[in-house]
Amino acid sequence: MLSNTPSLTILTAEQKFNGENLLSWTTNMTQLLGLKGLSGYVNGRIPLPPQLGTGAPILAPTPIYSTDPSIDEWHFRDQLARGHITLNCSDVAALGVKTTETAKEAWDSLQMEWGRSTDMRRSYAQESLNKALYAEGTSIQDHIKLLRTCKAAVNNLSTSTMSHCETQRMGKVYIKRGNPKKAIIKVVM
């Protein structure tokens, strides 16, 4: 028998937002909240319904994915969405997450604060990638390994790994077969 009460999903420690993984965390959370029918509380598409006056008819319960919840359902679902956001952050206080407002305000506080630094890091990574060249005489396998490490760093926007990739280019690596000394490496972002 299935319960009608939605559950709270907690990500692994590695998946929780930590200040360096906004892009992957946002993707995970968007999917998670969408699957639970809660994305409308985060993006503002399900607004707080108006307070009904006394003597108003009691509304029938709506499913979790309803875009027209009662005021009580809205408060419960908004708190559930906010709980998913705040409990899937490694340190809400240090990250500056609004924990006492709506789910949308909690979400927006993270995106506004950390989205700017993510954009800056992505811009820096792109610039570094554009300057990268394969050094003749070095091992092509080592170069490809470094490219893959750098690509993973950009995917996670990890500054600690990015320091190893400052002068390398990452992306999908294609190697034209032939003379290894004259190998053509094409990197596609």
Give 18-58 as a DSSP string. -SS-HHHHHHHHHHHHHHTT-HHHHHSSSPPPPPPPTTPPP
- Lowest-pLDDT choice from 9-13, 14-18, 135-139: 135-139
Contact 81, 38 (CB under 8 A): yes
Residues 157, 184 share a domain: yes
**Taking 60 as the threshold, does the pLDDT of residue 1 lie above it?**
no
pTM of the model: 0.62
- Among the residue ranges 29-38, 52-61, 88-97, 115-124, the one predicted with the least confidence is 115-124
Domain of residue 118, residue span: 7-131
Whether residues 178 and 109 share a domain: the answer is no
Would residue 160 count as lying in a domain?
yes
Looking at residue 90, the DSSP 8-state letter turns out to be S
Residue 186: phi and psi, rounded to 5, are -115, 125
What digits encode the pLDDT tens for the residues 96-119?
899 999 999 999 999 888 877 666
Q: How confident is the model at residue 124 (pLDDT cuts 50, 70, 90)?
A: low
Label residue 85 left, alpha or beta by phi (over 0 means left) and psi (-120 to 50 means alpha).
alpha
| Sequence-ordered list of residues with C-beta below 8 angstroms from that of 31, at least 6 positions apart, any chain | none
Same domain, 73 and 139: no
